[in-house]
Amino acid sequence: QKEVEQNSGPLSVPEGAIASLNCTYSDRGSQSFFWYRQYSGKSPELIMSIYSNGDKEDGRFTAQLNKASQYVSLLIRDSQPSDSATYLCAVNQRGNQFYFGTGTSLTVIP
């Protein structure tokens, strides 16, 4: 069983729609959860971090965490073509071990 699993996609949404990205993790001791965006040929950049159950909003981005279900998601509202990228889910476990999902490729169609 992989530590972090994501739907690889690709996911396509029209401009202005809501994009929903999902991630599950295996270790109940996981402490911190992150979403990174990675453009082709670039390094991952942090979009959102979330540490407790519930929702966390930052502009057009909302991260949702459900520790009981071991599930974390990212919603992108009013999707823009510039949001087209690969989104990586990352989970921080004990001892500052980070595990990354394989990423979900998102394409926003103008």
Partner 1 sequence: NAGVTQTPKFRILKIGQSMTLQCTQDMNHNYMYWYRQDPGMGLKLIYYSVGAGITDKGEVPNGYNVSRSTTEDFPLRLELAAPSQTSVYFCASTDKSSGNTIYFGEGSWLTVV
Residues forming contacts to partner 1 in the complex (CB under 8 A) are 31-32, 34, 42-46, 49, 88, 90, 92, 95-98, 100-103
Residue 29 and residue 15 in contact, taking contact as beta carbons nearer than 8 Å: no
> Could you tell me the smallest distance in angstroms from the CB atom of residue 25 to partner 1?
13
> Could you tell me the smallest distance in angstroms from the CB atom of residue 78 to partner 1?
25
> Could you tell me the smallest distance in angstroms from the CB atom of residue 28 to partner 1?
18
Q: CA 55, CA 106: separation in Å to the nearest integer?
A: 21
| Closer residue to partner 1 (CB): 95 or 110 | 95
First to last CA, the chain: 37
> Could you tell me the smallest distance in angstroms from the CB atom of residue 36 to partner 1?
8
| Closer residue to partner 1 (CB): 17 or 92 | 92
Site of tokens 């994501």: 6
Q: How many CB atoms lie within 10 A of CB 26?
A: 14
| Closer residue to partner 1 (CB): 42 or 77 | 42
Q: In what order do the strands lie in the sheet with 61-66?
A: 4-6, 19-25, 71-76, 61-66, 54-58
| Closer residue to partner 1 (CB): 35 or 108 | 35
